[in-house]
Structure formats: C-alpha cells, structure tokens
Homo-oligomer: A and B are copies of this chain.
C-alpha cells in the first residue's frame, strides 16, 4: 500500500550513536548525522521527530549494548570482585564498539549537567541510580560486618571512581587505567 523504508532504524541509530559519542550532543549537527547515517534529514525527522528524539534512541541503543554487562553484574555472586569486573567490562564495551571516547553515558552526564534538558538529565540520573543500586547489592554480599552507611559510602565512592575511569579511558594508557582500577578496589 505504500513505499518501504530504505534503511533499518536500528542500524542508523547505531551510526548516530557513534557520532554523538565522538562529538557530544551540541557539537553534532543534523547535517553531520545525515551523512553518517546515510539518510536524508526528512527521514531523520520522520523516524525520530527531533534531534533530541534521535539522541534518546541512541541512549536506548547504548543501554541495550550495556545490558549484558548489567546482567552479568546482577547475576554475579562474588560481590566486590564482580564490581571490579564490571569496571573492566565497561572499558571493553567501548573498545568493541570501536569507540575511544570514554563512556557515552558519562560524557552525556557531563555535557548536560548544566543544561535545561530535564528529559535527558532524568535519563542520566536514572542510569546512575541503577548502577549505584547494583553496587550496593554486590557490596552487601561480602560484607556481613559492614553497616548500611558504610556500604552506601562505598557505592558512592565506586560510582565517582567510575567517573574518573571514564575520563581516564579517553587519554591514559592501558596500564595507567588498570592501575587506577586496582588502586580503587584496594581499600574495599
């Protein structure tokens, strides 16, 4: 009854994600996206509504890519060690996606911190809360002697350390990154 789309949405979203990941939101124009995605501006707007709408789909895509990592952490039974593995996994996912610009979520979190886009900021906070909750869950495993306050403290510490790790992965050497992770978990 009507013409077919000449592109697969999942595919072009992934291409857009890489461009956003590399340049950030503000410094990625719809013209750049058009070229990278290989489709016309009209198609972008008819499929995703707006630049922000496309970006939200990219965040969803990233979340899906990262979900295996989350599931692995969720199912792990070895507490703190599982969180450390999660740190290493988060580095690996960037490499696998052929991207060397840190963590997409952390970058987005930083870029939007002072902007007025409450939708994207909400997504970021939800993402962070999710990770923090998982950290708390794992920390409780090998910590029968620790009180709740200590555990929350440690979870926060790990969350912020992961922020430092995300920044590090953009510039530092593999050795420096690994050393940082080892140092982070030494005291736990």
Interface residues of A (CB under 8 A from B): 22-24, 26-27, 101-102, 106-107, 109-111, 113-115, 125, 153-154, 156-157, 160-165, 167-168, 170-172, 176, 179-180, 183-184, 186-187
Contacts and interface: CB of A to CB of B under 8 A. Distances in A.
Residue of A26, A125, A162 with most partner-chain B CB within 10 A: A26
A87 to B, nearest CB: 12
Contacts of A161: 160-161, 164
Contact of A164 (B24, B163, B170): B163
A184 B168 contact: no
Contacts of A26: 24, 26-27
Contacts of A168: 160, 163
Given A23-B114, A114-B101, A160 B164 contact: yes
Contact of A157 (B154, B167, B171, B180): B180
B157 A179 contact: yes
Contact of A110 (B27, B107, B125, B160): B107
A167 B102 CA distance: 15
24 contacts: A23-B114, A24-B111, A24-B114, A26-B26, A26-B27, A27-B115, A102-B113, A106-B167, A110-B110, A113-B167, A113-B170, A114-B170, A153-B179, A153-B183, A154-B183, A156-B172, A156-B176, A157-B183, A160-B167, A161-B164, A163-B163, A163-B167, A183-B187, A186-B187
